[in-house]
């Protein structure tokens, strides 16, 4: 990319831009007096750009390293990978490799930050010069050298040249990270068929023989991904990884080449702490770990909430087998056992009762025992907020319990539980 290209960010490099940001940082940016003072330093368009930048930086706090120094916009922040997840992915890409990594469709550089902070050199590729410019700035803002960048439209099927050298085909199979646009027409799409670049181009990269990662949304249709990205009717082994940050799903990643080491993987990232569970999807089948109601209703049983990455990756059976747990019935999202298990994938609950799913029954049962329902979780179409409102508070002094609503056919079950707090020294990075 031409060093003189600014992608519309020239104002931030000028002295007036620096003074403008210094004025706006920490000020009440909604106050007319602040806006009036800002317009004495810059034209209205630049003032709007500065306000947008500061808003985006605030949105990026807790997500991107050195957010206060980055070039960002709101959509770029929403689409970018958090720095802790990016560093985890970078370590996988850079295993056994040091040097350059192609960061295709780099956006504002969320994944490039991870590559740079883990010792790699991202080669930035994007069709949007403003995004590529921001990504270069952002990599340098975290203390890494200014990376090379190429303005290229991958949707046209081109493999971009390495700056100052021959095509990337000629310089060897550099690892790649590809983040296709999931909002090609401005609206988010959960279908992998709507990606830009589309499946044929992504498939060509997957079959290029490189170590690679393709970032997709957390709602990607996992069961269809291998066939969707096949090229000329041929498939290659892929690893499908579902990544959870804290308690929320953030992305699905397709791994190809050497990093692809398992059919499915669920990964939880909590800052620098990373926990993974791997195995074949849907094995053992849920029917083999489903135990039915009698054992549950006999009492002395603990239920466990399962973190979403495990279910999304279809590894519920793997986790159940590891801990000797069973499933009360299909799709309930709870695993049962005769002892509480604390770990990164499981939150233990003490089972207090199982009732038919009728509001009046639950209200009467909890009231008779001096309990108040403080949380409602639901599967199968029930509305937690509606149940919570109908049940009422149950009194401020009652024992706090949680209600879990599940559906088995036409039958609704109400599981009443009490949360078991983790031990004080539990760090969440134990075995699965």
pLDDT per residue as tens digits for the range 384-425: 888 888 887 655 678 899 999 988 888 888 999 998 887 665
Examine the domain organization and report whether 212 and 351 are in the same domain.
no
Q: Which of 80, 16, 82, 26 is nearest to 49 (CA)?
A: 16
- Residues 29/51, Cβ–Cβ less than 8 Å: yes
**C-alpha pair distances (Å), 72 with each of 2, 43, 122, 217:** 20, 20, 18, 21
Whether 62 has a pLDDT exceeding 80, the answer reads yes
70 falls within a domain: no
33 falls within a domain: yes
343 falls within a domain: yes
Name the token pair of 40. 């004495």
**pTM for the model:** 0.88
Q: Supply the range of the domain harboring residue 23.
A: 10-60
Q: Which residues pair with 240 in a beta bridge?
A: 254, 264
- Residues 37/51, Cβ–Cβ less than 8 Å: no
Q: Please tell me the distance from the alpha carbon of residue 68 to that of residue 80, in angstroms, as a whole number.
A: 16
Q: Please tell me the distance from the alpha carbon of residue 314 to that of residue 266, in angstroms, as a whole number.
A: 9
Examine the domain organization and report whether 253 and 113 are in the same domain.
yes
Query: Given pLDDT bands bounded at 50, 70 and 90, which one contains residue 161?
Result: very low
**Last residue in a domain, options 227, 261, 295:** 261
Examine the domain organization and report whether 113 and 255 are in the same domain.
yes
pLDDT given at position 83 = 98
Whether 294 has a pLDDT exceeding 50, the answer reads no
Examine the domain organization and report whether 379 and 415 are in the same domain.
yes
201 falls within a domain: yes
- Burial of 111: CB neighbours in 10 Å, binned 0-12, 13-18, 19+: buried
Examine the domain organization and report whether 55 and 107 are in the same domain.
no
Whether 22 has a pLDDT exceeding 90, the answer reads yes
Between 388 and 110, the higher pLDDT residue: 110
Q: 304-333, pLDDT tens digit by residue?
A: 999 999 999 999 999 999 999 998 887 788
Q: Please tell me the distance from the alpha carbon of residue 381 to that of residue 180, in angstroms, as a whole number.
A: 32
- Residues 56/74, Cβ–Cβ less than 8 Å: yes
Name the token pair of 81. 């990978």
Whether 379 has a pLDDT exceeding 90, the answer reads no
Examine the domain organization and report whether 228 and 331 are in the same domain.
no
Whether 298 has a pLDDT exceeding 80, the answer reads no
Examine the domain organization and report whether 253 and 145 are in the same domain.
yes
Examine the domain organization and report whether 221 and 253 are in the same domain.
yes
pLDDT given at position 170 = 37
Q: Please tell me the distance from the alpha carbon of residue 115 to that of residue 318, in angstroms, as a whole number.
A: 31
Q: Please tell me the distance from the alpha carbon of residue 409 to that of residue 330, in angstroms, as a whole number.
A: 10
Those residues whose C-beta lies under 8 Å from the C-beta of residue 250, and which sit 6 or more positions away, are 81, 82, 85, 218, 243, 244
Q: Residue 114 maps to which CATH number?
A: 3.40.50.150
Between 141 and 225, the higher pLDDT residue: 141
According to DSSP, residue 145 is labeled P
430 falls within a domain: no
Q: Residue 357 maps to which CATH number?
A: 3.30.2130
How distant is the alpha carbon of residue 330 from its chain centre? 26
Examine the domain organization and report whether 302 and 384 are in the same domain.
yes
Q: Please tell me the distance from the alpha carbon of residue 156 to that of residue 151, in angstroms, as a whole number.
A: 12
Q: Which residues pair with 351 in a beta bridge?
A: 417
- Residues 312/218, Cβ–Cβ less than 8 Å: yes
Whether 35 has a pLDDT exceeding 90, the answer reads yes
Q: Which residues pair with 102 in a beta bridge?
A: 123, 176
pLDDT given at position 226 = 76
225 falls within a domain: yes
Sign of the C-alpha dihedral, residues 87, 92, 97, 103? negative
Between 329 and 62, the higher pLDDT residue: 62
Whether 358 has a pLDDT exceeding 50, the answer reads yes
Q: Which of 251, 313, 328, 304 is nearest to 283 (CA)?
A: 313
Examine the domain organization and report whether 415 and 293 are in the same domain.
yes
- Burial of 4: CB neighbours in 10 Å, binned 0-12, 13-18, 19+: exposed
Name the token pair of 108. 């504002």
122 falls within a domain: yes
- How many domains does the chain divide into? 3
On average, the pLDDT of the chain sits at 86
Q: Please tell me the distance from the alpha carbon of residue 58 to that of residue 53, in angstroms, as a whole number.
A: 9
Query: Given pLDDT bands bounded at 50, 70 and 90, which one contains residue 430?
Result: very low
- Residue 44 parent element (H or E): helix 44-60
| Average pLDDT rounded to a whole number, residues 183-192 | 66
pLDDT given at position 296 = 55
Examine the domain organization and report whether 139 and 257 are in the same domain.
yes
Q: 229-274, pLDDT tens digit by residue?
A: 765 566 678 899 999 999 999 999 999 999 999 999 999 999 999 9
Other Cβ atoms within 10 Å of 64 Cβ, number? 29
Q: Please tell me the distance from the alpha carbon of residue 228 to that of residue 354, in angstroms, as a whole number.
A: 43
Query: Which segment of 240-249, 334-343, 358-367, 377-386 scores lowest on mean pLDDT?
Result: 377-386
| Average pLDDT rounded to a whole number, residues 130-158 | 91
Q: Which residues pair with 419 in a beta bridge?
A: 349
pLDDT given at position 227 = 72
* Backbone torsions φ then ψ of 198, nearest 5 degrees: -85, 180
Q: Please tell me the distance from the alpha carbon of residue 273 to that of residue 382, in angstroms, as a whole number.
A: 35
- Beta strands 334-337; 302-306: pairing state: antiparallel
Query: Given pLDDT bands bounded at 50, 70 and 90, which one contains residue 284?
Result: confident
Those residues whose C-beta lies under 8 Å from the C-beta of residue 149, and which sit 6 or more positions away, are 1, 106, 123, 124, 125, 126, 132, 133, 135, 136, 163
**Cα-atom radius of gyration of the chain, to the nearest Å?**
25
424 falls within a domain: no
pLDDT given at position 89 = 97
Examine the domain organization and report whether 224 and 166 are in the same domain.
yes
pLDDT given at position 225 = 81
């Amino acid at each position: 990319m031409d060093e003189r290209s600014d992608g519309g960010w020239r104002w931030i490099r000028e002295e007036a831009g620096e003074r403008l940001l210094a004025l706006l940082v920490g000020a009440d940016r909604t106050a007319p007096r602040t806006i009036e003072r800002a317009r004495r330093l810059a034209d209205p368009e630049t003032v709007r750009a500065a306000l947008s930048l500061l808003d985006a930086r605030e949105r990026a706090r807790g997500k991107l390293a050195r957010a206060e120094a980055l070039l960002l916009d709101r959509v770029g922040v929403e689409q970018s990978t958090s720095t802790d997840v990016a560093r985890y992915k970078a370590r996988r890409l850079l295993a056994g490799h040091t040097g350059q990594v192609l960061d295709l469709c780099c956006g504002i550089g969320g994944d490039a930050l991870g590559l740079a902070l883990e010792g790699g050199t991202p080669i930035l590729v994007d069709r949007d010069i403003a995004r590529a410019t921001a990504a270069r700035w952002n990599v340098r803002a975290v203390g890494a050298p200014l990376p090379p960048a190429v303005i290229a439209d991958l949707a046209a099927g081109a493999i971009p040249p390495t700056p100052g050298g021959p095509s990337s085909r000629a310089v060897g199979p550099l690892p790649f990270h590809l983040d296709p646009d999931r909002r090609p027409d401005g609206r988010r799409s959960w279908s992998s068929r709507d990606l830009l670049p589309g499946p044929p181009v992504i498939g060509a990269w997957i079959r290029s023989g490189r170590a690679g990662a393709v970032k997709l949304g957390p709602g990607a249709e996992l069961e269809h991904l291998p066939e969707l990205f096949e090229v000329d009717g041929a498939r290659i082994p892929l690893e499908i990884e579902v990544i959870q940050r804290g308690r929320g799903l953030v992305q699905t990643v397709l791994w190809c080449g050497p990093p692809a080491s398992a059919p499915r993987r669920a990964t939880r990232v909590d800052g620098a702490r990373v926990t993974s569970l791997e195995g074949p999807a849907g094995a053992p089948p849920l029917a083999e770990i489903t135990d039915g109601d009698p054992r549950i209703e006999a009492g002395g049983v603990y239920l466990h909430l399962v973190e979403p990455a495990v279910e999304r990756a279809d590894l519920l059976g793997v986790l159940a087998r590891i801990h000797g747990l069973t499933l009360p019935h299909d799709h309930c999202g709870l695993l049962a056992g005769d002892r509480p298990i604390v770990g990164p994938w499981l939150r233990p609950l003490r089972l207090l009762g199982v009732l038919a799913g009728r509001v009046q029954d639950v209200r009467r049962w909890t009231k008779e025992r001096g309990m108040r329902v403080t949380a409602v979780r639901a599967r199968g179409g029930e509305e937690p907020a509606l149940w919570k409102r109908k049940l009422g508070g149950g009194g401020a002094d009652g024992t706090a319990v949680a209600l879990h609503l599940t559906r088995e056919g036409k039958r609704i079950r109400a599981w009443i539980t009490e949360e078991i707090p983790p031990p004080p020294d539990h760090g969440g990075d134990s075995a699965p």
